[in-house]
């Protein structure tokens, strides 16, 4: 069982590139199944979920070759519409394949993991929308069996919540559908804009992505294209947090300011200096961190839930008391008990966490309970006095190509053993 060994209290300083976004790459890889010609993704991150997605595409009959961060997909050979359970189990967000397979094949059969570390991951909005588009979907024992006897057709869909996954599945199912689909209260995340840009470059007709109303006019076929995956905004927030929590500085060479507009002001309110110039983001934390007023996680463009645990760690070293409200997932404070073993003073009650800043954090042996929570333990470890070991790091590897490589580039004393 691998673990990370960290010796803390080093001021981080350096500059680095942020790898491609996991939450853009996964829907993009699924969307390749809609195309009839070769697709080449660049800047595709080397993550376990990406490898699992490539195995699923291969199983569907597409040719999928990964060379470093380039993934070449030849989709002509698509022949299956069933994704076997053992492949689905490897990946949390396997549901992202549903819309693409159904849209291309008119059939889809896959199992979906009912929950993950964040709690149950319901898919009621995905199912309801696809049924509106003519799909017949039977759900039993975690197996989704879907088919469209009369083909998938466009529909007017209103989402009760701007679900990222549901918005992505509907867009993918609608690209080759008969007629027009309009999604109201669509999710506005940058990863959705990335997906729509890719599909439009392949000949789809999607407008309004990034806004609350997205319209898709079905076309007969999609050709291929070459497409660069956007940089990961949560990895960017994590590395900015690493500089903040250690009182250091960092320059991210390819992070996009527009993806972090609800995150950068919180770093500034904590007393960090933030500069954005020529596509780069600089953060310096020369002054001791200050507590901030309430942070509420919200759908984009609000503060991202995926950055919540990173800020729990940073605010633990800020002078004063801060409040975090987690509005997206019902079980996203599981990391707090491990953070408290390192001296953090965090009290949680339902969606609310109260973080009382402390002068010092102490190294400890801690266990990652989920992807972003694991990253917060690493951040606490690089700031803590003494040695920290973080185990169960395969959860961290789902979202970070090599968190130890990148933090070591910034001067952290961190090794994988
Ligand atoms: C995506 O998950 C991301 N995953 C998550 O990132 C991210 O936290 C989340 O969006 C919110 O930004 C990927 O993109 C692969 P949702 P998703 O559908 O699509 C409820 C990470 O760490 N809901 O917007 O599952 C749901 O339970 C991961 O990278 C329903 O009730 O998020 C949740 O409470 C974690 N019914 C809320 O909506 C549905 O049919 C937001 O879910 C769908 C969702």
Q: Give the contacts of 178 (CB within 8 A, at least 6 positions apart).
A: 151, 152, 153, 154, 218
Q: How is residue 244 written in tokens?
A: 């903040």
110 and 125 part of one domain: yes
**Secondary structure element (H or E) that encloses residue 99, with its range:** helix 98-105
Residue 60 near residue 46 (C-beta atoms within 8 A): no
Q: CA-to-CA distance for 245 and 318, rounded, in angstroms?
A: 8
75 and 210 part of one domain: yes
CATH number at residue 199: 3.65.10.10
Number of domains, the chain = 2
278 and 412 part of one domain: yes
235 and 224 part of one domain: no
CA of 307 to the centre of ligand 1 (A): 13
Torsion sign over Cα 39, 42, 45, 47 = positive
203 and 245 part of one domain: no
399 and 276 part of one domain: yes
CA of 233 to the centre of ligand 1 (A): 16
CA of 409 to the centre of ligand 1 (A): 31
141 and 244 part of one domain: no
Q: Give the contacts of 82 (CB within 8 A, at least 6 positions apart).
A: 108, 109, 110
Each residue's pLDDT, cut to its tens digit, for the chain (417 residues) gives: 999 999 999 999 999 999 999 999 999 999 999 999 999 999 999 999 999 999 999 999 999 999 999 999 999 999 999 998 888 888 768 899 999 999 999 999 998 766 667 777 789 999 999 999 999 999 888 889 999 988 999 999 999 999 999 999 999 999 999 999 999 999 999 999 999 999 999 999 999 999 999 999 999 999 999 999 999 999 999 999 999 999 999 999 999 999 999 999 999 999 999 999 999 999 999 999 999 999 999 999 999 999 999 999 999 999 999 999 999 998 899 999 999 999 999 999 999 999 999 999 999 999 999 999 999 999 999 999 999 999 999 999 999 999 999 999 999 999 999
Q: Whose CA is nearest to atom 39 of ligand 1?
A: 123
Mutate which of 164, 301, 396 for ligand 1 pocket (most atoms within 8 A of beta carbon): 164
Domain containing 291 equals 3-19+231-416
153 and 241 part of one domain: no
Q: CA-to-CA distance for 79 and 83, rounded, in angstroms?
A: 12
Catalytic residue among 44, 54, 64, 116: 116
| pTM given for the model | 0.97
242 and 169 part of one domain: no
| Catalytic site includes residue 116 | yes
């Amino acid at each position: 069982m691998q673990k990370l060994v960290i010796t803390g209290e080093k001021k981080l300083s350096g500059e680095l590139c942020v790898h491609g976004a996991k939450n853009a790459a996964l829907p993009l890889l699924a969307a390749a199944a809609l195309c009839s010609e070769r697709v080449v993704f660049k800047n595709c991150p080397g993550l376990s979920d990406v490898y699992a997605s490539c195995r699923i595409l291969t199983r569907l009959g597409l040719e999928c070759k990964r060379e470093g961060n380039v993934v070449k997909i030849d989709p002509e050979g698509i022949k299956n519409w069933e994704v076997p359970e053992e492949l689905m189990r490897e990946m949390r967000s396997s549901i992202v394949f549903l819309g693409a397979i159904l849209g291309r094949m008119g059939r889809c059969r896959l199992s979906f993991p009912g929950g993950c570390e964040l709690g149950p991951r319901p898919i009621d909005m995905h199912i309801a929308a696809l049924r509106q588009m003519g799909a017949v979907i039977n759900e039993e024992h975690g197996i989704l069996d879907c088919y469209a006897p009369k083909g998938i057709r466009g529909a007017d869909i209103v989402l009760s919540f701007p679900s990222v996954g549901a918005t992505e599945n509907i867009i993918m199912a609608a690209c080759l559908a008969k007629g027009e689909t309009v999604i109201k209260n669509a999710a506005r995340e940058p990863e959705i804009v990335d997906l729509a840009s890719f599909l439009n470059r392949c000949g789809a007709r999607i407008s309004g992505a990034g806004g609350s109303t997205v319209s898709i006019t079905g076309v007969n076929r999609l050709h291929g294209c070459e497409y660069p995956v956007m940089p990961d905004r949560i990895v960017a927030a994590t590395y900015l947090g690493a500089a903040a929590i250690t009182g250091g500085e960092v320059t991210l060479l390819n992070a996009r300011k527009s993806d972090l507009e609800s995150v950068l002001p919180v770093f500034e309110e904590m007393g960090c200096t933030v500069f954005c110039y020529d596509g780069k983001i600089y953060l310096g934390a020369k002054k001791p961190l200050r507590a901030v007023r309430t942070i509420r996680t919200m759908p984009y463009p609000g503060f991202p839930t995926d950055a919540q645990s990173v800020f729990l760690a940073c605010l633990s070293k800020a002078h004063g008391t801060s409040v975090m409200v987690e509005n997206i997932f019902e079980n996203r404070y599981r990391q707090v008990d491990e953070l408290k073993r390192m001296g953090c003073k965090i009290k949680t009650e339902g969606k609310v966490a109260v973080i009382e800043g402390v002068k010092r954090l102490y190294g400890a042996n801690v266990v990652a309970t989920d992807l972003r929570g694991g990253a917060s333990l690493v951040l606490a470890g690089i700031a803590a006095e003494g040695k920290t070991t973080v185990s169960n790091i395969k959860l961290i590897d789902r979202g970070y190509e090599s968190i130890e490589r990148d933090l070591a580039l910034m001067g952290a004393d961190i090794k994988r053993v």
